[in-house]
Amino acid sequence: MFNEKEFQLKLDSCWPALPKKNLDAKAKSNYFLSIKKLLTAKNAVLIAHYYTEPEIQELADATGGFVGDSLEMAKFGAKHPATTIVIAGVRFMGETAKILSPEKRILMPTLEAECSLDVGCESKDFATFCKKHPDRTVVVYANTSAKVKAIADWVVTSSIALDVVKHLSKQGEKIIWAPDKYLGSYIQKNTGADILIWQAYCVVHAEFQATALSALKKEHPEAAILVHPESPPEVIAKADVVGSTSQLLKTSQELPNKKFIVATETGIFYKMQLASPAKEFIPAPTMGPNATCRCCAHCPWMKMNNLENLKEVLEQENNEILLDDEIIKKALVPLERMVSFKHA
């Protein structure tokens, strides 16, 4: 079972040091040139998540790579002809790319980029929990290790979680959901499905504050509130739109509002602002009455990816994601279900 005290200890042991300081324009442009050359020489493509630093996203776009949410990243990597994929994100994203493309070499700027949801759902504990409920279909979030995926019947990302669970619930299936308790209760509320929920959470989204959000909305009554579903229910309750990173980005372009209050990791602001230069994007508060923030809307592990370690991994060809063949075989089944799932 999930244990909050153990979770905190595990987080402390993998919490990264402060990210590197920003480079000046000259150093940045030198890195861009060298990394571009290395990507071509190594037949490699760079795939980045929206939460990485803007310069990593800019470089992925400028080199024919890709920036997206966790589902889109996995799909792009599987289709791209490059023999080496460099994943700038957190480790479960590298593992997902390896499971979907086992014949390719998957490298990451660092293998120490964790995700608190993955940390909070250890495969042995989770397997024991699932064995106690053999009548339930096991649905896990993409933010889990390959070993946890290998136990699951379905893997979902936040962009298709509701559709998949609705589909399963219509067929009368009872569900185990892991690891995110907030996304789990959001899915339960919106599908009415019978769900047993693992109790881990995202340390970044858990810090958004509903009371301070209401106060901010009063200051900007014309702003639409966009919320990622890993946030607490009282924050989700204040949202105009709830969705995955790419769904929030799309909404920010489509809605007529000129202002948005955004409750997700601040890396997304780069693409939002790029797509809608005339609009204003305001970070949702992680401070307020009685609040203390440790992440303050920055994912500490996403921010471990930088131009220095990106160049280094291409030069040294280290930090490869290696997975056991048996785990790949088992984890591929629920992942392929997700990739080929057709929206109802």
| Interface with ligand 13P (CB under 6 A) | 69-70, 143, 157-158, 202, 230, 244-245
Q: Is 202 one of the binding residues for ligand SF4 (CB under 6 A)?
A: yes
**Segment contacting ligand SF4 (CB under 6 A): 1-9, 17-25, 75-83, 197-205?**
197-205
Q: Which is nearer to ligand 13P, 267 or 285 (CB)?
A: 267
Give the β-pairing of 241-242 and 195-197: unpaired
Compute how many other C-beta atoms are within 10 angstroms of the C-beta atom of residue 258. 12
Shortest distance (Å) from residue 230 CB to ligand 13P: 5
- Please tell me the distance from the alpha carbon of residue 135 to that of residue 110, in angstroms, as a whole number: 39
Q: Is 265 one of the binding residues for ligand SF4 (CB under 6 A)?
A: yes
Which of ligand SF4, ligand 13P, none is residue 203 near (CB under 5 to 8 Å by kind)? Answer: ligand SF4
Q: Which is nearer to ligand 13P, 142 or 314 (CB)?
A: 142
Q: Which is nearer to ligand SF4, 90 or 225 (CB)?
A: 90
Q: Which is nearer to ligand 13P, 52 or 188 (CB)?
A: 52
- Beta-carbon contacts of 227 under 8 Å, excluding residues fewer than 6 positions away, are 208, 235, 236, 238, 239, 241, 242, 248, 263, 264, 284
**List 47, 151, 236, 302, residue binding ligand SF4 (CB under 6 A):** 302
Residue 121, judged by CB atoms within 10 A of its CB (0-12, 13-18, 19+), counts as buried
3-class secondary structure for 261-309? EEECCCCHHHHHHHHCCCCEEEECCCCCCCCCCCCCCCCCCHHHCCHHH
Which of ligand SF4, ligand 13P, none is residue 116 near (CB under 5 to 8 Å by kind)? Answer: ligand SF4
Q: Which is nearer to ligand 13P, 105 or 149 (CB)?
A: 149
Output the CA torsion 199→204→210→213 (10° steps).
-160
* Region 57-116 residues binding ligand SF4, contact defined as CB under 6 A: 90, 115-116
